[in-house]
């Protein structure tokens, strides 16, 4: 099937940041809403394909909502602290590697010394690292994005439960049994706290390896250029 080939072609980033959070969110919604009547009689292939497609689309929506609700500042704050020569105010430990970052970026990307658009610089470095073998930062970026999407999925489920509960108060009961509803609420509340803390941790880890990966890539390039025949 073309659909099956499409999902097999998904990369690690698509699976962990879009498909998995979307599937878990849709799965929780299925627990909350009576959808048995909607899928009854449908071929299993259609049900599975529809679920995966809906999960993937939902994952993209969760990621977009996460980008809107949470804009990490670790990278920009660290560069600002380096530029202002106040390393103690940086959210990360500033070493020679971090201090060399801006100079190396100016050399690699032919940037002026007063270039200060940190968002564009981050995108340029990430695009460059994708062409190298130094991709540990990219893997941690995927892990961070997964935790952010799961954080969004958790609190958005609480909103869904609140809406369904409000409709129930108006005389249209849509929530399942109290045990199921309370279970979803407790699981969502715990997940909000857990994934908030974890996403912040992995944001810092991602930025740490971004500096390290870029530094290593530039040292490797310099060593190659200074070899015999250069």
81-122 pLDDT per residue, tens = 999 999 999 999 999 999 999 999 999 999 998 888 999 999
Count of the separate structural domains present in the chain? 2
How many DSSP H helices and E strands does the chain contain? 10, 0
Residue 130 neighbours by CB under 8 Å, 6+ apart: 138
Contact 83, 50 (CB under 8 A): no
Domain of 103?
74-134
DSSP sequence for 11-36 = -HHHIIIIIHHHHHHHHHHHHHS--H
Residue 218: inside a domain:
no
Residue 60: inside a domain:
yes
Q: 55 and 147: one domain?
A: yes
Band (7; pLDDT cuts 50, 70, 90):
very low
Q: How many of the other CB atoms lie within 10 Å of CB of 83? A: 11
* 200 has pLDDT over 90: yes
Give the integer Cα–Cα distance in Å for 202 and 146.
10
Nearest one of 134, 145, 126, 123 to 14, comparing CA atoms: 145
Q: 11 and 112: one domain?
A: no
Nearest one of 41, 36, 62 to 146, comparing CA atoms: 62
Reported pTM: 0.85
């Amino acid at each position: 099937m073309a659909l099956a080939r499409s999902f097999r072609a998904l990369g690690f980033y698509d699976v962990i940041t879009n498909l998995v959070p979307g599937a878990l969110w849709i799965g929780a919604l299925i627990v909350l809403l009576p959808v048995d009547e909607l899928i009854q009689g449908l071929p299993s292939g259609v049900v599975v394909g529809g679920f995966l497609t809906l999960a993937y689309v939902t994952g993209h929506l969760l990621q977009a909502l996460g980008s809107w609700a949470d804009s990490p500042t670790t990278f920009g704050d660290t560069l600002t602290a380096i530029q202002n020569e106040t390393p103690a105010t940086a959210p990360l430990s500033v070493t020679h590697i971090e201090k060399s970052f801006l100079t190396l970026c100016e050399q690699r990307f032919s940037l002026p010394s007063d270039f200060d658009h940190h968002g564009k610089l981050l995108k340029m470095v990430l695009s460059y690292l994708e062409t190298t073998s130094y991709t540990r930062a990219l893997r941690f970026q995927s892990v961070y994005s997964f935790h952010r999407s799961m954080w969004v999925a958790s609190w958005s489920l609480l909103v869904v439960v609140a809406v369904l509960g409000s409709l129930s108060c108006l005389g249209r009961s849509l929530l399942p049994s109290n045990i199921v509803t309370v279970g979803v609420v407790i699981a969502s509340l715990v997940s909000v706290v857990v994934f908030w803390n974890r996403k912040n941790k992995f944001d810092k880890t991602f930025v740490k390896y971004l500096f390290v990966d870029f530094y290593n890539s530039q040292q490797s390039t310099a060593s190659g250029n200074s070899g015999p025949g250069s």
